[in-house]
Amino acid sequence: MNAATPSDTASSLDDVPLYEARRKIYPIAVRGTFRRIKWTLLVVTLGIYYLLPFVRWDRGPGAPSQAVLVDFPNSRFYFFFIEIWPQEIYYLTGLLILAALVLFLMNAVAGRVWCGYLCPQTVWTDLFQAIERLVEGDPRQRREKLKTASPTRRAFEAASKHVLWLMVAWWTGGAWVLYFADAPTLVMQLLKGEAPAVAYVWIGILTFTTYVLAGHMREQVCTYMCPWPRIQAALTDEYALNVTYRYDRGEPRGSLKKTQALKLQGLPGGDCVDCRQCVSACPTGVDIRDGLQLSCVQCGLCIDACDTVMNKIGRPTGLIAYDTEMNVQRRQRGEAPIYRILRPRTVLYTALIVLIGGLMAVVLATRDSEGLAVIHDRNPLFVQLSDGSIRNGYTLRLVNKQLVPRRFAIAVEGVPEARLEVVGEAASASSDPVVSVGPDQTHEIRVLVSTAARLPANASLGLVFHLTDVAGGETVSVADHFKGP
């Protein structure tokens, strides 16, 4: 019996329905390298997600002490020692670009690594399935219970499973909202029923979606709802490693006794004993021996299941492994396999990640702790005063990113004989006007720039505003225009 090759699979795509009703899949528990990797990543990622809101970080008096906080009321994002302001949204853009490039690099190296080990849907589904096995047992035990256990016991176990699922889903939604407010304070408000209504709404939404997606839809999400399996197919190449059934070694498959009999007769016999443990271990019910499929999340559990069987029957492990279709065909032709992790695609992705990540780090490390934005009055563009001088009006927004109050001197250059006046501040003929800005705040002021110098017709002079910290001397400059008749 021969395994289906990719060409065989492609030829039958027309017969595959766009959607089919969900059939319940109860994968068996397996042990092995990839299962340990998945457990480790599950504990680490969920531990970070659930506990990170409670980590404290001292930013000084008057500043929030939560290490990671999305502070919508004050328009700030805090990540340990980093504080991002609304006008620095380009950092978020950079992070999204980096995330996409890392995803592309993962796919170029080893296929759907993200899907198999780090995707939230995979992680929470793993957790829900572990709870299911803990309460109801593995598939074999469940089948036995259908024959021997009383309906009351089965109903109790089912109810217990769903209660535990809902508890996990509830804490998942609750942990998410803790990133948007001081976590200990919000927890107490939630327990007392005093939290904002929006917190309860989002906890309810996320509880429902986690319970439904991880508990009831599972593989349907990966097969029909997620766009990544379809996108990654266009980004891969023949050198990308994928969980692969090595049919060059496994075929023709058959029972252990049948294969041994064939070999005694001098006939070919494969190492696959057709035990279907790889199918039973798959969380999406895929038979990896049929080749790469859209539903396969490349989690590696079929590798562990197959290696366990190979160890029991005394045959080499690796019948299912991370490999390429090209290498399977090369071994069939008696050629050595080729593995190329470093190739133009992976080098390019890595270089872009390093370049963009390094650029973001440099910009973040060298960014100013003050800011200035200038808006010229639109109507009127200028005013001619009774003494013949020309005046332009501007709105300036001063930014103080430090956690202490600061005083800034404002100066202007580029316009001959310019006089600068801050509306609401006492004018000084001997020095530039000085404006105070509170800690970690912005301050909007109205500024008038006048000149008695003769200007050319339809003048549009370039001018530059300078904002200088009186104490530290740091300066930021913004260019604009001075309009005339």
**pLDDT(3) > 90:** no
What's the pTM value of the predicted model, to 2 decimals? 0.81
**pLDDT(482) > 50:** yes
Model confidence band, residue 10 (pLDDT cutoffs 50, 70, 90): very low
Say how far apart CA 76 and CA 441 lie, in whole Å.
11
At residue 243, the 3 state secondary structure works out as strand
pLDDT digits over 345-393, tens only?
A: 999 999 999 999 999 999 988 888 888 999 999 988 899 998 889 999 9
**Radius of gyration of the chain from its Cα atoms, rounded to whole angstroms:** 33
Cβ(86)–Cβ(271) below 8 Å: no
pLDDT digits over 211-265, tens only?
A: 999 999 888 888 888 888 888 878 888 999 999 999 999 888 888 888 788 777 7
How high is the pLDDT of residue 427? 62
Output the six-digit token pair for 192. Answer: 């007392």
At residue 446, the 3 state secondary structure works out as strand
> Average pLDDT, whole number, for the chain?
88
Q: Name the residue with tokens 């079929």.
A: 302
Say how far apart CA 77 and CA 103 lie, in whole Å.
24
Output the six-digit token pair for 34. Answer: 């990839």
How high is the pLDDT of residue 268? 77
At residue 307, the 3 state secondary structure works out as helix
Say how far apart CA 301 and CA 282 lie, in whole Å.
6
Give the rounded percent of residues in the chain with a pLDDT score beyond 90: 56
Model confidence band, residue 19 (pLDDT cutoffs 50, 70, 90): low
* 28-32, 44-48, 177-181, 402-406: range with lowest mean pLDDT: 402-406
Say how far apart CA 481 and CA 485 lie, in whole Å.
13
First to last CA, the chain: 90
Bridge partners (DSSP) listed for residue 482 = 461
Alpha-carbon distance values, 101 to 156, 240, 345, 394 (Å): 47, 16, 11, 42
Cβ(449)–Cβ(391) below 8 Å: yes
